[in-house]
Amino acid sequence: MTSDAPNTGGAAAGALGPAPVRTMRVWPGALAMALVPVLALIAGQFLPAYPLRILDMILLYAILGLGLNIIVGYAGLLDLGYVAFYAIGAYSWALLASGQFDIHLPFALVLLIGASLAGLAGILLGIPVLRLRGDYLAIVTLGFGEIIRVLMNNLDGVTNGPQGIARIDEAHLFGWTLSTPEDFLYLLVAMLVVVFLFVWRIQESALGTALSAVREDQDAARGCGIDTTRVKLVAFALSAFIGGGCGVVFAAMQRFVSPESFTFWESLIIVLVIVIGGLGNPFGALLGATLLILIPELLRAYADYRLLLYGMALVIIILARPRGIISRAFGPSWLMRRLGGGKC
Give the chain's radius of gyration (CA, Å): 21
Cβ contacts of 283 within 8 Å, gap of 6 or more: 277, 326, 330, 331
**3-class DSSP assignment, residue 106:** coil
pLDDT at 7: 45
Q: Is 286 contained in some domain?
A: yes
CA distance 139 to 124: 16
Q: Is 11 contained in some domain?
A: no
Domain that holds residue 189: 26-338
CATH code, domain with 196: 1.10.3470
Question: What residue type is assigned to position 205 of the chain?
Answer: S
Provide the CA 232 distance to its chain's centre, in angstroms.
16
pTM attached to this predicted model:
0.85
Let me know: does 105 contact 290? Beta carbons within 8 Å: no
pLDDT at 33: 65
> How far apart, in Å, do the first and last CA atoms of the chain sit?
5
Q: Is 3 contained in some domain?
A: no
Tell me which long-range contacts 254-258 makes (C-beta under 8 A, separation of at least 24): 254/168, 255/166, 255/167, 255/168, 255/169, 255/170, 256/164, 256/165, 256/166, 256/168, 257/90, 257/91, 257/93, 257/94, 257/164, 257/165, 257/168, 258/162, 258/163, 258/164, 258/165
Report the domain count for the chain: 1
Q: Is 137 contained in some domain?
A: yes
Q: Is 285 contained in some domain?
A: yes
Q: Is 322 contained in some domain?
A: yes
Q: List per-residue pLDDT tens for the chain, 344 residues long.
A: 444 444 444 443 343 344 333 334 444 455 556 677 787 778 878 888 899 999 999 999 999 999 999 999 898 888 999 999 999 999 999 999 998 999 999 999 999 999 999 999 999 988 888 778 778 888 999 999 999 999 999 998 899 999 999 989 999 998 899 989 999 999 999 999 999 989 988 888 899 999 999 888 888 888 888 888 899 999 999 999 999 999 999 999 999 999 999 999 899 999 999 999 988 888 889 899 999 999 888 888 887 787 888 888 888 888 888 778 886 655 555 444 554 544 44
Let me know: does 1 contact 19? Beta carbons within 8 Å: no
Q: Is 343 contained in some domain?
A: no
